[in-house]
Structure 1
Amino acid sequence: MQIFVSCPPGVADLTAAELRNCGATQTREFKLGVQAEGSLEVAYRACLWSRTASRVLLPLGSFPAATQDQLYQGIASIDWQQHMNPKGTIAIDFGGASSGITHTHFGALKTKDAIVDQFRERTGERPSVQLEQPDVRIDVRLDRDRATVSLDLSGDSLHRRAYRARGVAAPLKETLAAAVLLRCGWPAIAEEGGDLVDPMCGSGTLPIEAALMALDIAPGLLRSYFGFIGWRGHDRALWAKLIEEARARREAAASKRITLRGYDTDALAVRAAIENVERARLRGVVHIERRDLEQLTRQSDAPTGLVVTNPPYGERIGEQERLQALYQTLGAKLREHFEGWKAAVLTGNPPLAKSVGINARRTHTLFNGRIECRLLRFDVTPGDYVGERKPPPDAAELRERPGAQMFANRLRKNLKTMQDWARRENVDCFRIYDADMPEYAFAIDQYGDGEGERWVVVQEYAPPKSIDPKAARQRRNEALAVIPHELAIEPERLFIRERRQQKEGAQYEKLDNEREYQLVREQPYRFAVNFTDYLDTGLFLDHRLTRRLVGEMARGKRFLNLFAYTGTATVYAAGGGATSSTTVDMSRTYLDWAKRNLALNDLAGPEHGFVQSDCLAWLKEQRDKSRRWDLMFIDPPTHSRSKRMEQDFDVQRDHVQLLSLAAQLLAPGGVIVFSNNYTRFRLDREGLAAFEVEDIGRRTLPRDFERNPRIHACYVLKLRDTSDAVAGVTEDSAGGAGRH
């Protein structure tokens, strides 16, 4: 069945990962939730185990609801006796508006009337409204004159873990605290034996949520009420099994010896935190103590750990100076006692965080209620301390330099030209600048989601050894002062990579382990991209037209995608009407990414299969099998080597063998689209004499890459219709010896 899991803004990727861990498939992320497929067990597990989800909704129906009559009729078309007892209790959550329904209270009343009237007509009885812990909670959402009606399986917001006895002013929601900890990599730190300290813990939410993670305790285990308990479709035996499993996991981790610490200067907050720890059954695991920030010291011998806190935001007049001093004290204590640890600050007042005196490595946008916050993450290492290195010149001063002004003028001109073109072509991800001025050797790409969200990736080409390193650094500083200013991009949405001459296999090396994805749009499709973990983002912008061509060729075809990477070509083929597809890559990470991309576009299904394998070895294994494909897309790396491969791969040396092996799996009349990004590539036409070859490199070169026509090579290959040619492919070329 399909479920929709709501979550706070900015954490949908974390919620989707949790759902996949619960067994969900085809997760599709939105700004305020995740759509997924799975069994009732998956939905129950989400209620029990998701740390970031707010509600788990089971859709019951969707219908036009421009008017109150349409809403009433649509609600009445659902058989409510399948879901609840006529004498039961209901609550209705109503959101959104349509052209004829502008008040949520009125929409909720109309929904209630339709349900009550149905029961009266059929049974002579009616359910009653009960806002707190009803038997069934119903969620109705109006969007574009259409209503979606769902059963709220969670019944109450999942941030209510049942351990909070009382809070303090503006308590941190449990789901937000969990998202903060996941963004900071706390589970991995805990697994390595690291400790955690919150020096301004309030009612203790962060250390309590950290303990639940470290000890593998289901966040919903203490709750006695869920929305499915009074639902007629409830499977009591299944729920009992999952509860027993969660208790067993808690017991299995109970022997772990960890002490997480929370301090606060407010005695009332400390008392509330201690009470919450007791209710969470974490006595001896979470230590709460009244302590001023000035008294903060490291009381752990752990070589690694996390200091994480949510300081006051300073919304009242006159608080800025006091809070600035507080942030300065926090920074001083981190540098004095926690060198080698990680640190994180969730703040609703980002400028104050500069007073910490440590340069943030990463920032994330999160929302504490309606307050937009920044999660700033630090490595407590001397190299990141402000003042340890000579500060760079002021950005405004850098932008005034003559070279920087010329670069800014070029960037401004390019941006206007490319934005006008992108708007006409419905393109949201495109290249703005590609070393147009040789002394400013950068490639600058904009990624957009079609709804106004933008990110910028700057790739710096490593300067040749003949360039003075000091001059190169100066131009880099000038460029990095100009780019965010001219592109009107926030610093946390700017990502910088250095591109050097690649060694074999380097294009797939992992650079980080953030596992944070953003959703961007390329014409009708959405893709997940990652700006931090890899040299490439997961979407090769120069292949935009090649993907479109594949989509146009795919209708009614069986499609094979070799060296598939993140499966973007498979998305285009499936969206273009391919009857089936097979996506092959050696990396499990990229195959999971490809599955995610298909699900994001509602294209996943059993007709689209995935294979983790060395592509050359897999092709050889298929020779004696009967399966054939009508259309293939083959886009290998320039070089590849891995312990899992039978042999190293070099596209110039091995492309004849690769294409000859692939040709044996072509159906009659089949076509291969072959591309690669080796700038010095030369197609061996003599070795590929069995093929008709069309060079479409120029045809597939997008407008935004015209400055670099060698960015990729691309060909369409078809087998010549002669028996001699076929014999040449099946015997000689595929052997991998002879000519090469």
Structure 2
Amino acid sequence: MSDQFEIFLTCPKGLEGLLIEEAVGLGLEEAREHTSAVRGMATMETAYRLCLWSRLANRVLLVLKRFPMKDAEDLYHGVLDIEWQDHMLNDGTLAVEFSGHGSGIDNTHFGALKVKDAIVDKLRTPQGDRPSIDKLNPDLRIHLRLDRGEAILSLDLSGHSLHQRGYRLQQGAAPLKENLAAAILIRSGWPRIAAEGGALADPMCGVGTFLVEAAMIAADMAPNLRREQWGFTAWLGHVPALWKKLHEEATERCAAGLAKPPLWIRGYEADPRLIQPGRNNVERAGLSEWIKIYQGEVGTFEPRPDQNQKGLVICNPPYGERLGDEASLLYLYQNLGERLRQACLNWEAAVFTGAPDLGKRMGIRSHKQYSFWNGALPCKLLLIKVTPDQFVTGERRTPEQRQVEREQAEVEVTDNDVAPGKYEKYNKNGNPIKPAPVVIEQPRLSEGGQMFANRLQKNLKALGKWVKREGIDCYRVYDADMPEYSMAIDLYQDWVHVQEYAAPKSIDPEKASARMFDALAAIPQALNIDKSRVVVKRRERQSGTKQYERQAAQGKFVEVNEGGVKLLVNLTDYLDTGLFLDHRPMRMRIQKEAEGKRFLNLYCYTATASVHAAKGGARSTTSVDLSKTYLDWARRNLSLNGFSDKNRLEQGDVMAWLDACRDEYDLIFIDPPTFSNSKRMEGIFDVQRDQVQLIDLAMARLAPGGVLYFSNNFRKFVLEENLTTRYAVEEITDKTIDPDFARNGKIHSAWKITAR
């Protein structure tokens, strides 16, 4: 075999430029860049060094042969022509990977089969001994790449992908591969910062991949030093003495690196479930003395061990795939920006994100951006210098104005015991000057965001007297007042519940998303609410019981007050909260009319109307709903107010229940869904189609002199005329809409129905 080999290094898309620099530094010659690969010439020593030291490559492929091929027969004979007895034993194990297509081979499995057949046929003995297939841990892993009619046959020296360092046995939901994490660290300048003794902090560290890769770079630890199984271990061309020499050198370098005083490397993670897995990964990597992981939110992490320490803050924020993630992600980025400005002055920061537009919401400009791919997802690496001149604040000022303000704010230090060197400036008398403290300003809202904030504040002021007079602490403050900001915003005491209406298809999704982020940035400032108390959901066009489907599982309830009763709302787990705010006037009407009456609440949901009826002195209440979940919630609402007796909860299909019922009621409330096809009911309920049957069944249960209130929120609903001929019907919609819903007169329709 020759002293020089052609080598292919594969890597994730976007890492080619960094990989070629690394590979040349490790001895690769005649290096050339390809898509997701680097090609060059190397000695066996360099090939081993690449396996051991490459932080960026996936695989190290040693090219055995190149040959032209026109069809499957050319492929078979080209592989058969190799002296395979120089590479493996005839009873060894084998795995074949095939990539590319053409030359009559469009199926990679078929191509791999032809390569395997040629190798097996070459090594088959007269006694029938032959290699067998082992896809997990073969003696030899062969790769054939078909490229424009040329077959490139290679031996995989790495075995398992080199990104699998062996320390990360436990991982989070969306982990970065180790070589991608290393590439991000290198591009962020960490090798330079580490060489200067700088610190590193990851405020969203997950299971610690950035931390471990950073510590290995700083400690001069070969990334694959602890790997025991290699693709060349059972290869007959393997040179054990040469490998032993390189491995011992790497071991000595690692020992020397770890003997140095460890750098300050810290990770913070909000999810308590990831803390121990992260610490376990650090321990397996042998870096427990260098890395510490703590539980903590982004807004509380403290990256500085002392005022003079500088370093790098690096993180990979979540990308967001669930309903309402827009708010949590926006505020996460805002919190990160605030923390950088407050606690990391003069540090450097690197934010790797799949949502680069959110990077603009941190309130700090990035001075460089690099494109990467995380699997199939395009991402950006935002590099930031955390200095005041990069802050995006609420007021536009020139650099000259900022300099004047800093000079004016500087004060002389009169304490003669100040430690030498503590301050860098001195006045003409030689007295030290204390620098002005850095004032952290709120990020400036965009023009659209400021306009939206102004509207919220205007609405809040307009509703203020009414809210105070009526003693209301849950109300709507905005309902798509501005068409380009299509959402509803409700206040629940000191919580904000935002429902984003899905944008029409005619609206550019990027513009809709940008407006949403503008609005979300404005809401906490305009309403003076902490960002952690803003909950966002997206409301699509509804059908059936989608509004009742579970969105999350936090199980967190907030107690609110309305008309002298206490009610439980859940702002996170369902699209609706358990309290329809627009029905407030109807509930208050029921409370006033309920004294001494038998009250029936159909499609009761969480039975808030029944609580009000009980508060108003109802003789009894009966609440019917198909959902056990909401009846349990109703039971809690009633119990919260001390109304456990004489308050029945019935689970069942309302139409079937009414048909079987023989009781009489003095006051009935019906607020049916627009459409329902629950598996627990027979057939399908459509409010427009089935209204007559529903109202007839309910009126049959109405006692003489009783009142039935019928309401629904189907905007196209039309009450059947024949109902008005048989019953006394009065539309009371206008009387059931409070000032906070006055802009949306079609939020619901309501009628008062009595017997003629």
TM-score, normalization: structure 1?
0.52
Structure 1 segment 165-184 matched on structure 2, within 5 A:
165-184=169-188
Q: Identify if the C-alpha distance between structure 1 residues 333 and 131 changes in structure 2 by more than 3 Å, giving closer, same or farther.
A: same
1:124 offset after TM fit, Å?
3.9
Q: Which of these residues, 49, 56, 64, is aligned with residue 60 of structure 1? A: 64
* Residue 280 (structure 1) aligns with: 285
- In 2, Cα distance between equivalents of 1:316 and 1:244: 49
1:394 offset after TM fit, Å?
13
* Residue 97 (structure 1) aligns with: 101
Asked whether 1:340 is paired with 2:346, we answer: yes
* Residue 237 (structure 2) aligns with: 233
Structure 1 segment 515-534 matched on structure 2, within 5 A:
none
User: Which 4+ residue blocks in structure 1 deviate beyond 6 angstroms?
Assistant: 391-397
Match of 2:357, as an amino acid?
P
Match of 2:285, as an amino acid?
A
1:234 offset after TM fit, Å?
0.3
Does the 8 A contact of 1:303 with 1:340 survive in 2?
Answer: no
Listed one character per residue, the Cα deviations across residues 620-663 of structure 1 (whole Å, up to 9, x for unaligned) are: xxxxxxxxxxxxxxxxxxxxxxxxxxxxxxxxxxxxxxxxxxxx
- In 2, Cα distance between equivalents of 1:150 and 1:396: 58
* Residue 265 (structure 2) aligns with: 260
Q: Identify if the C-alpha distance between structure 1 residues 256 and 214 changes in structure 2 by more than 3 Å, giving closer, same or farther.
A: same
- In 1, Cα distance between equivalents of 2:33 and 2:127: 41
Does the 8 A contact of 1:341 with 1:379 survive in 2?
Answer: yes
Asked whether 1:290 is paired with 2:295, we answer: yes
Q: Which of these residues, 360, 363, 380, is aligned with residue 386 of structure 2? A: 380
* Residue 28 (structure 2) aligns with: 24
1:66 offset after TM fit, Å?
3.1
Match of 2:292, as an amino acid?
H
Structure 1 segment 30-429 matched on structure 2, within 5 A:
30-120=34-124, 124-257=128-261, 258-301=263-306, 302-387=308-393, 390=396
1:99 offset after TM fit, Å?
3.7
Does the 8 A contact of 2:304 with 2:343 survive in 1?
Answer: no
- In 2, Cα distance between equivalents of 1:115 and 1:391: 72
- In 2, Cα distance between equivalents of 1:263 and 1:122: 63
Match of 2:210, as an amino acid?
L
Q: Identify if the C-alpha distance between structure 1 residues 25 and 395 changes in structure 2 by more than 3 Å, giving closer, same or farther.
A: farther
Does the 8 A contact of 1:65 with 1:98 survive in 2?
Answer: no
Listed one character per residue, the Cα deviations across residues 333-374 of structure 1 (whole Å, up to 9, x for unaligned) are: 000000100001111111111111111111111111111110
Gaps of 5+ in 1: 398-740
1:213 offset after TM fit, Å?
0.2
- In 2, Cα distance between equivalents of 1:265 and 1:277: 18
Match of 1:270, as an amino acid?
I
Listed one character per residue, the Cα deviations across residues 433-478 of structure 1 (whole Å, up to 9, x for unaligned) are: xxxxxxxxxxxxxxxxxxxxxxxxxxxxxxxxxxxxxxxxxxxxxx
- In 2, Cα distance between equivalents of 1:354 and 1:299: 24
SS class of match (1:253) = helix
- In 2, Cα distance between equivalents of 1:145 and 1:254: 50
1:318 offset after TM fit, Å?
2.3
Larger radius of gyration: 2
* Residue 417 (structure 1) aligns with: none
- In 1, Cα distance between equivalents of 2:141 and 2:322: 38
Q: Identify if the C-alpha distance between structure 1 residues 317 and 145 changes in structure 2 by more than 3 Å, giving closer, same or farther.
A: farther
Listed one character per residue, the Cα deviations across residues 355-407 of structure 1 (whole Å, up to 9, x for unaligned) are: 1111111111111111111011100011111127739999999xxxxxxxxxx
SS class of match (2:228) = coil
Match of 1:365, as an amino acid?
S
- In 2, Cα distance between equivalents of 1:251 and 1:291: 32
Structure 1 segment 447-526 matched on structure 2, within 5 A:
none
Match of 1:234, as an amino acid?
H
Match of 2:265, as an amino acid?
L
Match of 1:285, as an amino acid?
W
Q: Identify if the C-alpha distance between structure 1 residues 153 and 391 changes in structure 2 by more than 3 Å, giving closer, same or farther.
A: farther
Does the 8 A contact of 1:259 with 1:284 survive in 2?
Answer: no
Q: Identify if the C-alpha distance between structure 1 residues 28 and 178 changes in structure 2 by more than 3 Å, giving closer, same or farther.
A: same
- In 2, Cα distance between equivalents of 1:359 and 1:388: 14
- In 1, Cα distance between equivalents of 2:150 and 2:31: 22
- In 2, Cα distance between equivalents of 1:298 and 1:263: 9
Match of 2:139, as an amino acid?
D
Listed one character per residue, the Cα deviations across residues 518-547 of structure 1 (whole Å, up to 9, x for unaligned) are: xxxxxxxxxxxxxxxxxxxxxxxxxxxxxx
1:31 offset after TM fit, Å?
2.4
Q: Identify if the C-alpha distance between structure 1 residues 384 and 202 changes in structure 2 by more than 3 Å, giving closer, same or farther.
A: same
RMSD: 2.1
Q: Identify if the C-alpha distance between structure 1 residues 174 and 122 changes in structure 2 by more than 3 Å, giving closer, same or farther.
A: farther
Q: Identify if the C-alpha distance between structure 1 residues 366 and 146 changes in structure 2 by more than 3 Å, giving closer, same or farther.
A: same
Q: Identify if the C-alpha distance between structure 1 residues 395 and 82 changes in structure 2 by more than 3 Å, giving closer, same or farther.
A: farther
- In 2, Cα distance between equivalents of 1:252 and 1:283: 16
Higher alpha-carbon deviation: 231-240 or 18-27:
18-27
TM-score, normalization: structure 2?
0.51
Match of 2:192, as an amino acid?
A
- In 1, Cα distance between equivalents of 2:126 and 2:385: 65
The size of the alignment, in residue pairs, is 397
Does the 8 A contact of 2:7 with 2:39 survive in 1?
Answer: yes
- In 1, Cα distance between equivalents of 2:233 and 2:114: 25
Listed one character per residue, the Cα deviations across residues 256-299 of structure 1 (whole Å, up to 9, x for unaligned) are: 22121111111222111101001000012110111111211233
Match of 1:276, as an amino acid?
N
Does the 8 A contact of 1:86 with 1:123 survive in 2?
Answer: no
SS class of match (1:171) = coil
1:328 offset after TM fit, Å?
0.3
SS class of match (1:4) = strand
Identity value in percent? 47
Does the 8 A contact of 2:266 with 2:303 survive in 1?
Answer: no
Does the 8 A contact of 2:203 with 2:268 survive in 1?
Answer: yes
Does the 8 A contact of 1:98 with 1:146 survive in 2?
Answer: no
